[in-house]
């Protein structure tokens, strides 16, 4: 919020997706080409395509983290919309963290594979 009580994003609706916010479409394409890091490391069968999850744990406020901090997750481990057989981070963040640790722990795993 600014002093007028308006959102700081109101004047620039594309602020969250601008180049200044850390967008890197090429990197995200590499992330999506990887297997789900959880399925891969825990020996699970990946039932859905890989999506790029921007880490949320430890993030302050509502701003999305930069693309270089995205990790590869299948739908079951990400949103859980199509695959409800797994713990989805956006549906059960506490259970996800207890099972797999903070999502930020998977950034290095991803970056090593996106070189």
Express each pLDDT in 17-42 by its tens digit: 444 458 899 999 999 999 999 999 99
- pLDDT at residue 50 tops 90: yes
CB 110 within 8 A of CB 74: no
- Confidence band, pLDDT 50/70/90 cuts, at residue 7: very low
Q: How far apart are CA 32 and CA 74, in angstroms?
A: 9
- pLDDT above 70 as % of the chain: 77
Set out the domains of the chain in order of their start, with CATH numbers: 23-113 (3.30.40.190)
In eight-state DSSP terms, residue 46 is P
Q: How many Cα atoms sit within 13 Å of 102 on the Cβ side?
A: 10
Q: What mean pLDDT is reported for the chain?
A: 83
pLDDT at position 63 is: 74
Buried b (16+ CB within 10 A) or exposed e, 78-87: bbbeebeebb
pTM of the complete model? 0.78
pLDDT at position 21 is: 59
- pLDDT at residue 99 tops 90: yes
Q: Which residues contact 56 (CB under 8 A, 6 or more apart)?
A: 65, 89, 90, 93, 103
């Amino acid at each position: 919020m600014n002093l007028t009580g308006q959102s700081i994003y109101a004047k620039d609706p594309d602020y969250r997706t601008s180049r200044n916010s850390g967008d890197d479409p090429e990197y995200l394409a590499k992330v999506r080409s990887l297997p789900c890091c959880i399925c891969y490391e825990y020996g699970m069968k990946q039932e859905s395509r890989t999506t790029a999850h921007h880490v949320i744990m430890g993030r302050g406020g509502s701003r999305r983290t930069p693309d270089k901090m995205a990790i590869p997750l299948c739908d079951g481990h990400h949103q859980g919309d199509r695959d409800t057989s797994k713990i989805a981070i956006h549906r059960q963040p506490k259970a996800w963290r207890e099972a797999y640790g903070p999502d930020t722990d998977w950034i290095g795993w991803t970056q090593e594979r996106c070189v």
